[in-house]
Amino acid sequence: MSARKPIRKAVFPVAGMGTRFLPATKAIPKEMLPIIDRPLIQYAVDEAREAGIDQLIFVTGRGKTAIVEHFDTAFELEATMTERDKSLDVLEPTRILPGNLVTVRQQVPLGLGHAIWCARAIVGDEPFAIFLPDELMIGQPGCMKQMVEAYNAVGGNLISVLEVPENEVSSYGVIDPGQRGFGPGGALTEVRGLVEKPKREDAPSNLIISGRYILQPEVMRVLEHQGKGAGGEIQLTDAMAQMIGQQPFHAVTFAGKRYDCGSKTGFVEATLAIALEREDMRDEVRAMALRLLG
Ligand code: G1P
């Protein structure tokens, strides 16, 4: 039996402007770009639900309403499909229990830490998860489920990490690792320090934060007073760093694959990889890829 408060809420910061994908993202949110037939945000929401999290908090901004529409009932669409004897099963992943999707707005892009802080009233006094939907995590079980298992073992705060080549560390939050290889599946690492987007020579390791977090509500109080950090933004990493030593802080090495859908090549890689896994298309896509490679 565990006395830990269960993780029921997830925050999805989706207010970003998606400038890297312009002009595709001029009129639609980058989170709505599809990997095959599901928008990116759907993969993150599916991962949350698989981990038993069903209260979804979207931190949105101007021009982002399509994300909320995606999880609403499309009455005319469903009526027309029913009339034409088409199955509504494809819409199943988009259904949310009434009241389980809440949006708050981040009016000004002041950074990831600020975006999370915008959700403080809805998060309340509970531990909660954070998903950065740009990071597409494919595993069995999914990344958040692996993290919830780790949380049940050690509690406190957890972040997912993975190794990157040393010349990439300056694009990420980087951990200073302590003891490694314990807990469920030997996946846990003690976190002794955190630094956001360090120079290569200052990075404490090549273990980077990969877009999944389980945090205690106290982080909101820290964020309240958090000054600007890397890139002149209010950084979540800086607020988390202040909690080390006050509360347990661990990293989980995710057993699975991660695709950085914030970059164009990462997006193409994810599309190809998922197409090659899907039973309904893998043979055709494989033959096509081989043909294209000549
Ligand atoms: C954010 C976080 C960073 C993390 C990264 C993962 O950075 O600040 O710590 O490693 O996401 O994708 P961003 O990509 O928003 O610059």
Q: What is the mean pLDDT of residues 197-225?
A: 97
Kindly give the number of the ligand 1 atom that is closest to the alpha carbon of 16: 15
pLDDT tens for each residue of 3-22: 689 999 999 999 988 899 99
CA quadruple 285, 269, 111, 72: dihedral, nearest 10: 10
What's this model's pTM, rounded to 2 decimal places? 0.96
Kindly give the number of the ligand 1 atom that is closest to the alpha carbon of 210: 6
For residues 235 and 246, give the distance between their C-alpha atoms in angstroms, rounded to a whole number. 19
Residue 114 φ/ψ, nearest 5 degrees: -65, -40
- The finding on whether 209 has its CB within 6 A of some atom of ligand 1 is yes
For residues 144 and 158, give the distance between their C-alpha atoms in angstroms, rounded to a whole number. 10
C-alpha distances in Å from residue 10, one per residue of 30, 49, 240: 19, 10, 17
pLDDT tens for each residue of 36-77: 999 999 999 999 999 999 999 999 999 899 999 999 999 999
**CB neighbours of residue 84 within 10 Å:** 7
> Quick one: tokens of 252?
């989980």
- The finding on whether 203 has its CB within 6 A of some atom of ligand 1 is no
pLDDT tens for each residue of 116-165: 999 999 999 999 999 999 999 999 999 999 999 999 999 999 999 999 99
Q: Which residue has the tokens 């402007």?
A: 17
Instruction: Answer whether CATH 3.90.550.10 is correct for domain 9-262.
Output: yes
Amino acid symbol at 16: G
- The finding on whether 196 has its CB within 6 A of some atom of ligand 1 is yes
> Quick one: tokens of 169?
């560390």
- The finding on whether 135 has its CB within 6 A of some atom of ligand 1 is yes
- The finding on whether 211 has its CB within 6 A of some atom of ligand 1 is yes
For residues 39 and 29, give the distance between their C-alpha atoms in angstroms, rounded to a whole number. 10
> What residues does each domain of the chain span?
9-262, 263-294
- The alpha carbon of residue 141 and the mean position of all alpha carbons in its chain are separated, in whole angstroms, by 15
